[in-house]
């Protein structure tokens, strides 16, 4: 017979809804992750093949205002643009990956367990990193000449201020830190739940 | 330390662990942990059910030993 405590599965009926919604969120974040992966893979490819065979420049829109047109870049600038794009995309991808794993845990009914809490905490750190990495990416691409303020279509439409970054990136800072704090609170709840489970 | 004499009472009443677990509504695994004093605590509710099932007093089940 196992000598580990059996935690009773007394999740409320309301949690069934949360599990169903978690499955929807898993699908949503899987799609978002795929889109981001496409962006991450496209950047080095666009740096090699900067235009289509018909001569149309290829580009990546990081936000509504930060659009990189590879067609008009020199090879050196294209390298800078690739680094910038990856710096922009990778932390976002990692935060999405951990959020996806978190909802997978919730969908399985794992709530006050070490694994979902760890995913929540890491997602929070990556969300926070996304904000700073996006600023660093814009700065780097500007310094490298991969971004300019000459705003014709297909080139760059960068207003030249960090505050011009899309709301979604500014919000990463304001969601990242609270998520980290929430993870620590959940860890405390997990500890209490484990303690309660040892009372028969 | 608190020692649980549940196995002694079970033997006296000629009752099996499985039967008691079913009667009081806890898993056999948790009852086994209780028997071997590997739990942090026992709810009054559980103690009440055990006493009712074994027709005994809490003092028959729990014992304090020095050290």
User: What is the mean pLDDT of the segment spanning B31-60?
Assistant: 92
% pLDDT > 70, chain A: 82
Strand partners for B62: B4
Q: Render pLDDT for A86-108 as a digit per residue (tens, 0 to 9).
A: 998 999 999 999 999 999 999 99
For residues A131 and A148, what is the distance between their CA atoms, to the nearest angstrom?
21
Phi, psi for B41 (deg, rounded to 5): -170, 165
Binning pLDDT at 50, 70 and 90, where does residue B65 land? confident
Q: Do B40 and A199 touch (CB under 8 A)?
A: yes
pLDDT given for residue A167 in this prediction: 57
pLDDT over 60 at A24, yes or no: yes
pLDDT above 90 as % of chain A:
30
User: What chain B residue is nearest to A4 in terms of C-alpha separation?
Assistant: B29
CA A26/CA A1 separation, integer angstroms: 36
Q: What is the mean pLDDT of residues A2-27?
A: 74
Which two tokens mark A104? 């997978």
Statement: residue A149 has pLDDT above 70: no
On the CB side of A17, how many CA atoms lie within 13 Å of its CA? 3
Q: Flag if A200 and B39 touch (Cβ within 8 Å).
A: yes
ipTM value, please give it. 0.74
Q: Which residue is closest to B49 within chain A, CA to CA? A: A200
Domain that holds residue B55: 2-64
Can you give the CATH number for the domain in which B37 is found? 1.10.260.40
Q: Which residues of A touch B6 (CB under 8 A)?
A: none
Q: How far apart are CA B11 and CA B15, in angstroms?
A: 6
Judged by CB atoms closer than 8 Å, whether chains meet at A195 and B39 is answered as: no
Least trusted range by pLDDT, from A68-82, A104-118, A120-134: A68-82
Q: What is the pLDDT of residue A52?
A: 77
A10 interfacial to chain B (CB closer than 8 Å): no
pLDDT of residue A68: 80
- Residue window 19-58, chain B: list those with CB within 8 Å of chain A: 26-34, 36, 38-43, 46
Provide mean pLDDT across the span A115-121.
94
Strand extents, DSSP E, chain A = 59-61, 67-69
pLDDT of res. A148: 55
The count of structural domains within chain B is 1
pLDDT of residue A169: 62
Q: Tell me the domain boundaries of chain A.
A: 14-197
Tens digit of each residue's pLDDT (9 = 90 or more) over A152-195: 444 444 443 333 445 566 677 788 889 999 999 999 988 888 88
pLDDT band at A151 (very low <50, low <70, confident <90, very high): very low
**pLDDT at residue A65 greater than cutoff 50:** yes
């Amino acid at each position: 017979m196992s000598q580990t405590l059996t935690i009773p599965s007394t999740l409320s009926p309301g949690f069934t809804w949360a599990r169903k919604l978690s499955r929807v969120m898993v699908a949503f974040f899987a799609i978002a992750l795929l889109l981001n992966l496409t962006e991450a893979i496209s950047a080095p490819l666009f740096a090699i093949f900067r235009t289509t065979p018909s001569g149309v420049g290829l580009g990546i829109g990081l936000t509504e205002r930060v659009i990189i047109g590879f067609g008009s870049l020199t090879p050196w600038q294209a390298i800078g643009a690739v680094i910038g794009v990856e710096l922009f995309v990778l932390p976002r991808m990692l935060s999405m990956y951990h959020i996806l794993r978190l909802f997978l845990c919730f969908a399985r009914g794992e709530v006050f367990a070490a694994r979902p809490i760890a995913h929540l905490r890491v997602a929070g750190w990556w969300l926070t990193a996304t904000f700073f990495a996006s600023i660093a990416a814009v700065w780097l691409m500007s310094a490298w000449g991969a971004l300019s303020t000459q705003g014709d279509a297909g080139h760059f439409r960068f207003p030249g201020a960090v505050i011009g970054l899309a709301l979604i990136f500014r919000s990463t800072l304001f969601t990242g830190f609270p998520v980290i704090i929430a993870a620590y609170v959940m860890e405390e709840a997990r500890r209490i739940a484990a303690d309660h489970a040892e009372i028969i | 330390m608190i020692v649980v004499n549940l196995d002694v009472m079970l033997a006296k009443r000629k009752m099996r662990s499985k039967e008691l677990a079913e009667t009081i509504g806890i898993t056999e695994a948790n009852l086994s942990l209780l028997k071997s004093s590997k739990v942090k605590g026992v709810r009054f509710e559980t103690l009440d059910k055990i006493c009712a099932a074994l027709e005994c007093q809490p003092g028959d089940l729990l014992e304090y030993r020095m050290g």
